[in-house]
Amino acid sequence: MAETVLTNPGHSTARLEGWRGIAADWASDQRAFKNVSWGKAMMWIFLLSDTFIFSCFLLSYMTARMSTTVPWPNPSEVFALNIAGNHIPLILIAIMTFVLISSSGTMAMAVNFGYRRDRVRTAALMLATAAFGATFVGMQAFEWTKLIMEGVRPWGNPWGAPQFGASFFMITGFHGTHVTIGVIFLIAIARKVLRGDFDVERRGFFTSRKGYYEIVEIMGLYWHFVDLVWVFIFAFFYLW
């Protein structure tokens, strides 16, 4: 064992699978996550904690909605739009969902091209992802503006239970913040990819560590998580 490579260690030749593998990995020396770098493991653990944050938001929304005696505003009507004279229910949210799913697709392919060391395509796909993300945030800003103009406040709204506004602004606000941070993160990493930082192993400005293409995958984990959270928000807040 000359030197441990922490960035991209592969399978050991004799590594157990299944339940025995779990027991062996967790009982082993030094590291439980054998073929995962610390960066990726930490991103997963961060995402797990973020899962609990969003779970608590959705739970408090559920509690408010279940315990109120006032009728809950119908999201299908609240988020309807008039397009070319047609009244289409929930259409804005549907478009936002498709935009975010598209961004997840481009991100997944960016990760793929990153591991093939295709600099230009990786950066282009990441910038496309960022553009989709920015579009999403823009549509969310439009949605917020529309609802605020119609009189929705965190303490009340014209249609029913006053907790609707508080839940809406809290949940979509936190999600929108995550998307915004993701867009900034994407642009920063795309710049590094395009400049070839990960080909020449240039050291980072803040960390003085060498970067690897794996950061594209770690970035991707964050971005897919943002999409994942939207899946749950879409189901529980908008469709329920």
**In terms of CB distance, is 22 or 148 closer to another protein?**
22
Rounded to whole angstroms, the Cα distance separating 158 from 74 reads 12
Amino acid letter at 84? Answer: A
Residue 217 binds to another protein (criterion: CB under 8 A): yes
| 18 lies in the site for another protein, by CB under 8 A | yes
Out of 45, 141, 148, 200, point to the residue binding another protein (CB under 8 A).
Answer: 45
Of 88-96, 126-134, 138-146, 181-189: span binding another protein (CB under 8 A): 88-96
Output the smallest distance, CB 188 to another protein, in A: 20
Spatial separation of the C-alpha atoms in residues 20 and 108, rounded to whole Å: 31
Q: Check: CB of residue 202 under 8 Å from CB of residue 211.
A: yes
**Angle made by CA atoms 220, 113, 181, in degrees to the nearest 5:** 25
From candidates 8, 173, 204, 210, binder to another protein by CB under 8 A: 8
What radius of gyration, in Å, describes the C-alpha atoms of the chain? 22
Which amino acid is residue 5, in one-letter code? V
Numbers of helices and strands, H then E, in the chain: 7, 2
Among 14, 104, 148, 157, binds another protein (CB under 8 A): 104
Cβ of residue 100: shortest distance to another protein, in angstroms? 9
Query: Binding pattern to another protein, positions 112-141, x when CB under 8 A?
Result: x--xxx------------------------
Q: Which of 78, 92, 107, 190 binds another protein (CB under 8 A)?
A: 107
Torsion on CA atoms 43, 45, 47, 48, rounded to nearest 10: 170
Residue pair 230/176 in contact (Cβ under 8 Å)? The answer is no
Closest contact distance (angstroms) between CB of 219 and another protein is 12
Q: Which is nearer to another protein, 187 or 216 (CB)?
A: 216
